[in-house]
Amino acid sequence: MKYFCLFLLVLLQEPQNALVTLSDTYGEQTVSHALSTKGGSLSFTEKAINRLGDRAAIGLMRLIEDHPVGNVDQIKDILGVIRNAFSAPSIITVEEDRQPKATLFLLYYLRNLPVSQTIRPEIDETRAFVLRNVKNN
Amino acid sequence: MPRPYRCRLSLAFFLCIASSVLAQQPSTPPPPHGHPTAPPLPAVDQQQVVVYWTTETGWNSELQLRNNALSQDLTVTPVLRLADGAETSLTPVTVKPQEVKSIDIGAAIAAVGAPQLVGTYGSVVLRYSSPSQRVLYAALMVRRIGYPIAFHIDAIGELLDTQNGSREGIWWLPKDSTSDYLILTNQGSNPIPLVLSLYNSVGKESQQQLILGALETRRYSVRKLAQAAGLTGAYGGIKVAATAHAGSLDTLHFLFDETAGFSAILKMFDYDPTTPLQERDYAHTGIWTQRAPMLALSNPDPALAFAPGTTLHPQLFIRNITGKVADASLRFYWRMASTAGPAAGPPLHLNPYETRLVDVAALQSAGVLPKEANWTSVTLTTNGLPGEVVAVAASYDSSLRYGAQTPFSDQLTFRWEGGMWEYDSYHNSIITAGNGGTKPTHVAFTIFYNQGVQHYDLEQTLQPDEQMWIDIGKLIREHVPDTNGNTLPNDLMSGSYEFRDLTNKTIGTLFEGKIIYDKTYGHAVYGCAICCGFGTTVPLYNPLGVPERGVSGEGVQSYDTCGSIYEDVSNAFYNNWSSANTAIATVDYYGTHTGVAMGSTTSQTYGQLQSNVITRLCPVLMKYPSGGVNVQEPGSLKVLSINVLPTGTTGDHGCTPTQDYGIELDITYQVLDKSNPAQPLKNATMVPHEHIVSGSQSSDEDICPSRISTCKHTTDANGIWHDAPVGGCFNGPISINFTQAITMILNGVSYQVRNNSFSLNTSSVTHGTITNSSDIQKTR
């Protein structure tokens, strides 16, 4: 967790060319909204997540810091957001966010949670999905 | 003063200065891409006529058809006319783009079973359906079987509106054994009243009047006519003048001598006394200029494979066709294996109707041109109007057995589409293009082969008068790579070719020439190419939508009559734009319009393009395109179509199999203006923006791009755009409402254009309904 927090500090530096709204610099509100509409979303939310890319992972990590992951369903919802965030890398607003650095770190973190033992295959599939889409972009 | 304010004031000052400076500069040209292409011109019935064919004993005729279109096949029906005009259709021939096809007339006659066409002569009509006549370049090769006698005849179209004019030529009878034919053909259905005049070298005239019947071909011997008129000498002038239907007349004059093994074509020229210099002054020199690109000099090029020791006698026949004195001058640009250079020829003071012989061999002997030089281009300039001086070049040895010709032409153009070249054990082709302009130009040369599908490309920058010299056989034999590293196949025997002026794309500066030589006989035949001109010329946008207080780029496109496509020719129309009402819109140097106040007006420009109005030439003509201008503001959106995105995980999908309750749409909108009735706002720079509210959540973002490929950040040139995906996907049944306020951002100003109040309901998997209770309603 020490390294996780250090990594968060590095990632949470103000982006130089960010085009996201000032009120939601890290995509925290957007991913929070996506997670709150359990079991689906309206297209505008989906589109907003699509444009976040790696920034969605930062928003998720900030949420996790406040509300630690407690069960498999929560992990599944997070994986859905991550997939959405990398479903169309070409439309990710900030160029740097097309590289899933924070996302891979978050997936690694999730995979090593005691609660995630039964869902590791899905975590690995999500990791492969993200890498494949980034490569094909 | 606090520093931040000082900075802001400095910045404001800078911006004021900058905007003031920028306002005095012309804007940048409108973007070259993204404009709508004018609708394709409809295909209409076209025809061209070859003045002569023959199947008389010992003669053979071969038709060559080249399709200049870039993408469409061309089907041509050759029709043989007998001398009296009676017609017989041959089998239609389909030619692929850039392909050249050869048809043996004798075989084609046998195929349709038309014995009346054997052992006779007449003219050939080529009928086809196409948007423009110049899609087809056609030539007929006439050969005397077993003799070094061959020449080519170009097909031309009929000019129905041309009444007065003449065909001007030069006759030459180098030996007593030389025969000649002067062919007169009437392409049209009206008889043509003609005056046929022959002149001796000093201008003494003999004339006769005749009527050339509808569709008739008539064949004369100049030798007999000259003898009957008492004209003496070996050369002189020919005039065939029409006082009506001159645009239906075509003529041909050729020589042949079976004893000497000699043939020559004495090119005849169209003359229209009303033609102004600027129509044919392609290089803007103010002087009418003709060129012969490939005159073989005394020391023949070894590539021609003439008998060892052959010495040619190059000469020029130059004729003043008018009743006044004409001053002319000659210059040369000679070449040999390793060097090339210019030389000045003698000034010429031509008396009325005089035909002058210029002995180029003597100029070589006198050192004006190097004795070792193999070739020269000849440039002839005159102080008169186009067509008032005509010229023919010939270069043969003393027996006439070996030799070559090169035709004079004043034509310079941006694109030449060439006919068939040949290469085999007994034939080779040499092709050239030269720069007839006054500035360097970059030239692209392309060989098309394998039915026009494959091409071989070369490029070269040419200085004024310099020529690009292409030995086809050498390219094949020596596997010379082209600009893409490709080589020509070893077994390649024929194809077509093209020259393009990459520097001057609307009024070109290229002249061209080609000879095909036959090593069996030691005889070279010249071929021609067709110049390409522009036809219909229209604005890129009509009407042009201009935002109020904003700008829209306008340009001009013109129909390339060879390629059969529209080309952007905007740069030929710069600096001539004007607006009919500057209180509504202004327009700058480049055609960029600025909306001043809402309303409608027109704008126009003018510029010069090479045109297609004359069948044999591509004269420079002024074009005056104009179009409507509507100054507009975005006012509303019109729904053009609504598509339900399918369930999936790849491509443009809607819901996924794991969340398949609901519906997602791809909605196509067009932006309309605020006028009544509302009109499309055709502008490609508008950005759709949305403000979404759903319960306590809201979003304010540009609508596109999204993961759906149709969703682009800006509108297209017609103000059309896609909003996709619209809707939602869930794990189970749900009813949800949300509002979408759409604005269009144009030139930094946001215009409210639509409010959608959506209701989305889904009660079972793969189903859903979405509606705005108005013009958007979809269920799946």
Would you say B483 and B458 are in contact if contact means Cβ atoms under 8 Å apart?
A: yes
- The closest CB to that of B707, out of A41, A42, A50, belongs to A50
**Residue B476 in 3-state DSSP?**
helix
Would you say B724 and A44 are in contact if contact means Cβ atoms under 8 Å apart?
A: no
The whole-angstrom separation of Cα B376 and Cα B517 is 17
User: Residue B29: pLDDT band by 50, 70, 90 thresholds?
Assistant: low
Least CA distance to A34: which residue of chain B?
B697
The whole-angstrom separation of Cα B73 and Cα B488 is 24
pLDDT at B172: 97
pLDDT at B769: 97
B267-270: Cβ within 8 A, 24+ apart: B267/B169, B267/B392, B267/B407, B267/B408, B268/B167, B268/B168, B268/B169, B268/B238, B268/B240, B269/B167, B269/B168, B269/B169, B269/B387, B269/B390, B270/B165, B270/B166, B270/B167, B270/B168, B270/B387, B270/B614, B270/B616, B270/B617
Strand order in the sheet with B777-779: B697-702, B687-694, B734-746, B749-762, B769-771, B777-779
Counting every residue written for chain B, the total comes to: 780
CB-CB under 8 Å, B729 with A40: yes
Least CA distance to B713: which residue of chain A?
A91
pLDDT at B549: 83
SS3 for B259-324, per residue? CCCEEEECCCEEECCCCCHHHCCCCCCCCEEEEEEEEECCCCCHHHCCCCCCCCEEEEEEEECCCC
Q: B770 and chain A: CB distance < 8 Å anywhere?
A: no
Most confident of the ranges B37-46, B117-126, B591-600: B117-126
DSSP assignment of B89-156 equals E---EEE-TT-EEEEEHHHHHHHHT-GGGTT-EEEEEEEEEES-GGGEEEEEEEEETTTTEEEEEE-B
* Every domain of chain B and the residues it spans: 38-145, 162-274, 534-632, 634-779
User: Residue B746: pLDDT band by 50, 70, 90 thresholds?
Assistant: confident
Least CA distance to B649: which residue of chain A?
A87
From chain B, the residues in CB contact with A32 under 8 A are none
Distance from CA of B542 to the nearest CA of A (A): 34
Nearest to B719 by CA among B600, B635, B614, B644: B635
User: Residue A136: pLDDT band by 50, 70, 90 thresholds?
Assistant: confident
- The closest CB to that of A44, out of B659, B662, B699, belongs to B699
pLDDT digits (tens, 9 = 90+) for B657-678: 988 999 999 999 999 999 889 9
SS3 for B539-574, per residue? ECCCCEEEEECCEEECCEEEEECCCCEEEECHHHHC
pLDDT digits (tens, 9 = 90+) for B345-357: 999 999 999 999 9
pLDDT digits (tens, 9 = 90+) for B533-551: 999 999 998 888 888 888 8
Query: Is B107's pLDDT higher than 70?
Result: yes
Would you say B170 and B355 are in contact if contact means Cβ atoms under 8 Å apart?
A: yes
pLDDT digits (tens, 9 = 90+) for B54-66: 999 999 999 999 9
Would you say A11 and A112 are in contact if contact means Cβ atoms under 8 Å apart?
A: no
pLDDT at A22: 40
Quick one: which H or E segment has residue B22? Answer: helix B3-24
What pTM, to 2 d.p., does this model score?
A: 0.72
Nearest to B463 by CA among B444, B483, B437, B501: B437
pLDDT digits (tens, 9 = 90+) for B286-296: 999 999 999 99
pLDDT at B4: 35
pLDDT digits (tens, 9 = 90+) for B39-51: 778 899 999 999 9
From chain B, the residues in CB contact with A48 under 8 A are 699, 701
Q: A34 and chain B: CB distance < 8 Å anywhere?
A: no
The whole-angstrom separation of Cα A59 and Cα A62 is 5
Q: B725 and chain A: CB distance < 8 Å anywhere?
A: yes
Least CA distance to B725: which residue of chain A?
A43
Tell me the two tokens of residue B477: 């034999």
Residue A65 phi, psi dihedral angles, 5° rounding: -60, -35
- The closest CB to that of A41, out of B690, B728, B732, belongs to B728
| Single-letter amino acid code for the residue at B670 | Q
From chain A, the residues in CB contact with B734 under 8 A are 40
* Every domain of chain A and the residues it spans: 22-136
Nearest to B726 by CA among B716, B739, B713, B745: B739
Identify from A24, A30, A47, A90 which residue to disrupt to test chain B contact, counting B C-beta atoms within 10 A and taking the largest count.
A47
Query: Is B697's pLDDT higher than 60?
Result: yes
Q: B666 and chain A: CB distance < 8 Å anywhere?
A: no
Mean local confidence (pLDDT), B305-328: 95
Complex ipTM value:
0.80
Q: Are strands B626-632 and B544-547 parallel, antiparallel or unpaired?
A: parallel
From chain B, the residues in CB contact with A87 under 8 A are 707
Quick one: which H or E segment has residue B746? Answer: strand B734-746
Nearest to B275 by CA among B153, B392, B410, B407: B410
From chain B, the residues in CB contact with A21 under 8 A are 700
Least CA distance to A93: which residue of chain B?
B705
Which residues sit opposite B38 in a β-bridge? none
Mean of the per-residue pLDDT values for chain B? 91
User: Residue B749: pLDDT band by 50, 70, 90 thresholds?
Assistant: confident
Residue with tokens 């390793």: B338
pLDDT at A5: 40
| Single-letter amino acid code for the residue at B149 | I
B162-274 against B534-632: fold identical: no
pLDDT digits (tens, 9 = 90+) for B758-770: 999 999 999 999 9
User: How many other β-carbons are positioned within 10 Å of the β-carbon of residue B338?
Assistant: 5
DSSP assignment of B235-259 equals EEEEEEEESS-GGGEEEEEEEEETT
pLDDT digits (tens, 9 = 90+) for B433-443: 999 999 999 99
A13-17, A26-30, B478-482, B776-780: segment of lowest average pLDDT: A13-17
Strand order in the sheet with B720-730: A40-42, B720-730, B661-673, B634-644
Q: Are strands B720-730 and A40-42 parallel, antiparallel or unpaired?
A: antiparallel
CB-CB under 8 Å, B707 with A47: yes
The whole-angstrom separation of Cα B344 and Cα B771 is 83
pLDDT digits (tens, 9 = 90+) for B70-104: 888 999 999 999 999 999 999 999 999 989 999 99
pLDDT at A17: 29
Would you say B41 and B107 are in contact if contact means Cβ atoms under 8 Å apart?
A: no
Q: Are strands A40-42 and B467-471 parallel, antiparallel or unpaired?
A: unpaired
Mean local confidence (pLDDT), B10-23: 34
pLDDT at A32: 86
pLDDT at B30: 54
pLDDT at B614: 63
The whole-angstrom separation of Cα B422 and Cα B404 is 16
Whole-number Cα distances in Å, B688 to B430, B701, B725: 59, 9, 14
Which CATH architecture group holds B38-145?
A: Sandwich (2.60)
Q: Are strands B556-560 and B249-257 parallel, antiparallel or unpaired?
A: unpaired
Identify from B645, B707, B765 which residue to disrupt to test chain A contact, counting A C-beta atoms within 10 A and taking the largest count.
B707
Quick one: which H or E segment has residue B335? Answer: strand B326-335
SS3 for A56-97, per residue? HHHHHHHHHHHCCCCCHHHHHHHHHHHHHHCCCHHHCCCHHH
| End-to-end C-alpha distance for chain A, whole angstroms | 32
Strand order in the sheet with B565-568: B534-539, B556-560, B565-568
The whole-angstrom separation of Cα B297 and Cα B507 is 31
Nearest to B332 by CA among B297, B281, B304, B357: B297
Which ranges of B25-90 does DSSP label H, i.e. alpha helix? none
Residue with tokens 């096809």: B101
Query: Is B692's pLDDT higher than 70?
Result: yes
The whole-angstrom separation of Cα B223 and Cα B229 is 10
Would you say B81 and B124 are in contact if contact means Cβ atoms under 8 Å apart?
A: yes
Would you say B67 and B416 are in contact if contact means Cβ atoms under 8 Å apart?
A: no
- Please tell me which residue, B775 or B1, carries the higher pLDDT value: B775
CB-CB under 8 Å, B694 with A40: no
Residue with tokens 């340009």: B555
The whole-angstrom separation of Cα B351 and Cα B599 is 63
Would you say B330 and B348 are in contact if contact means Cβ atoms under 8 Å apart?
A: yes
Least CA distance to B733: which residue of chain A?
A39
pLDDT at A9: 38
CB-CB under 8 Å, B697 with A45: yes
pLDDT digits (tens, 9 = 90+) for B199-232: 999 999 999 999 999 999 999 999 999 999 999 9
Q: Is B487 exposed, middle or buried (0-12, 13-18, 19+ CB in 10 A)?
A: middle
A23-37, A41-55, B105-119: segment of lowest average pLDDT: A23-37
Would you say B223 and B231 are in contact if contact means Cβ atoms under 8 Å apart?
A: no
pLDDT over 70 percentage in chain B: 95
Which CATH architecture group holds B634-779?
A: Sandwich (2.60)
Mean local confidence (pLDDT), A26-52: 85
- The closest CB to that of A39, out of B697, B726, B732, belongs to B732
CB pairs < 8 Å spanning A and B: 58
User: How many other β-carbons are positioned within 10 Å of the β-carbon of residue A26?
Assistant: 24
The whole-angstrom separation of Cα B16 and Cα B575 is 27
pLDDT at B119: 96
Tell me the two tokens of residue B497: 């070719």
Q: What is B534-632's CATH number?
A: 2.60.40.1080
- Name every residue whose Cβ is closer than 8 Å to that of residue B22 and which is 6 or more positions away in sequence: none
- Please tell me which residue, A4 or B268, carries the higher pLDDT value: B268
Whole-number Cα distances in Å, A91 to A28, A53, A86, B490, B663: 19, 9, 9, 50, 22
Could you please state the CATH topology (level 3) that the domain comprising B162-274 is classified under: Hypothetical Protein Tm1070; Chain: A (2.60.290)
pLDDT at B34: 52
Least CA distance to B727: which residue of chain A?
A43
Distance from CA of A114 to the nearest CA of B (A): 26
Distance from CA of B2 to the nearest CA of A (A): 26
pLDDT at B18: 35
Tell me the two tokens of residue B750: 């946001």
| End-to-end C-alpha distance for chain B, whole angstroms | 66
